[in-house]
């Protein structure tokens, strides 16, 4: 009889501990999923901002057909980050068009 009581008590304690562990793991999993979703949204937002900046730079200097060296270098730096974030679209088309533009040297870049 005492053996049965001890066995039942041990089973109850183990079940309680396992239930608690499962609950903690579920909460942790939800936090990780929420964080991952938030990071995805931030990535999309950053890609959109970078794409907008790249597009604006292109259209500001398009009519001139030339671009200051510091602006072009900034464009290339932003393009590199945009691509690293997985961005791809018409941006590559405009980047290739800009390769044929005259790059005006300034004293800003040495």
CA distances (Å), origin 70, targets 29, 36, 50, 75, 101? 46, 36, 17, 9, 14
pLDDT, the chain, mean:
88
In the chain, what are the domain boundaries?
31-104
Residue 54 CB partners (closer than 8 Å, separation 6+): 75, 78, 79, 82, 91, 94, 95
Please give the pLDDT value at position 13.
Answer: 87
With 90 as the cut, is the pLDDT of residue 67 above it? Answer: yes
Give residue 110's pLDDT band: very low, low, confident or very high (50, 70, 90). low
């Amino acid at each position: 009889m005492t053996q049965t009581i001890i066995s039942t008590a041990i089973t109850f304690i183990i079940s309680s501990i396992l239930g608690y562990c499962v609950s903690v793991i579920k909460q942790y999993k939800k936090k990780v999923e929420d964080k991952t979703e938030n990071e995805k949204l931030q990535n999309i937002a950053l890609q959109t901002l970078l794409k907008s900046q790249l597009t604006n730079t292109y259209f500001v200097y398009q009519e001139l057909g030339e671009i200051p060296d510091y602006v072009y270098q900034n464009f290339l730096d932003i393009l590199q980050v945009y691509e690293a974030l997985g961005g791809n679209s018409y941006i590559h088309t405009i980047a290739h068009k800009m390769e044929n533009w005259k790059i005006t040297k300034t004293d800003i870049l040495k």
